Amino acid sequence: MMMQTVQSPVVRILDVHKSFGSNEVLKGIDIEVTAGEVVTILGPSGSGKSTLLRCINMLEEIDSGAVFVDGEQMGFDLRDGRLHRLPDSVVRRQRRKIGMVFQHFALYPHMTALENVLEAPVGIHGRNRKEAREEALALLARIGLADKANFYPRQLSGGQQQRVAIARALAIRPRLILFDEPTSALDPELVGEVLETMRGLADEGLTMIVVTHEISFAREAADRVIFMDGGVVVEEGPPDRVLNDPRNPRTRQFLNRVI
């Protein structure tokens, strides 16, 4: 894992609240993530982990607070003490700096692995198709799927599909990659290949926020572990300290069940 050397925050989450009807899912979240840092978020189902990721890239709108990526407030402009929604065109531009890997792959079934990786760089970012294709092939080789470039998702295992999804996220040259439980939909024997790919990205110094139940990944690849419960950050710190000597009783209770 690359040592942290750059201290400028890529992500700043300030007092973020989010409700769905009467259910307050996020209750004042404050988190900073510095460049090159790998942060894993642990917690029980319903604790707000995935909602937090979706608020970072504006797949969900926050109710109050602020999210900054690369110093730019996401989705809103604060004027006269109130949040004002930015135009959709601006939000789409902001999302281009963030890659996201979903739990259920979200690949286009009618496109090959190569075409899936090419879609965003060419179709959204407007990059030269020849250059983007060369980079996409290099990305597929990087994740060990050079020989699967012309395969459709239905011809790939779940682990292979998720690795294609990771290559697709990398293809936009993101400043930040969000992983929303990337191994939870996989059969146990396929989890290892995806985690190995993610460990490689961590070693390269990519800025990553990973919602996961994989304690081994948090222990081996993370710079910091955050434990969420009931819509709040209960505890955070270095993996060795949080996982081996948690200070909060709720964290200890959770870890005793999953380790």
- At residue 1, the pLDDT reads 47
**Global pTM?**
0.92
Statement: residue 3 has pLDDT above 60: no
Statement: residue 6 has pLDDT above 80: no
Which candidate, 151, 191, 143, places its Cα nearest to that of 167? 143
- At residue 7, the pLDDT reads 62
Tens-place pLDDT, residues 103-160 = 988 999 999 999 999 999 998 888 999 999 999 999 999 999 999 999 999 999 999 9
Cβ atoms of 143 and 193 within 8 Å: the answer is: no
Tokens representing 218?
């948090």
Tens-place pLDDT, residues 57-92 = 999 999 999 999 999 999 988 778 777 899 999 998
Statement: residue 5 has pLDDT above 60: no
Helix, strand, coil content of the chain in percent (nearest 5):
40, 25, 35
Rounded Cα gap, residues 50 and 31, in angstroms:
15
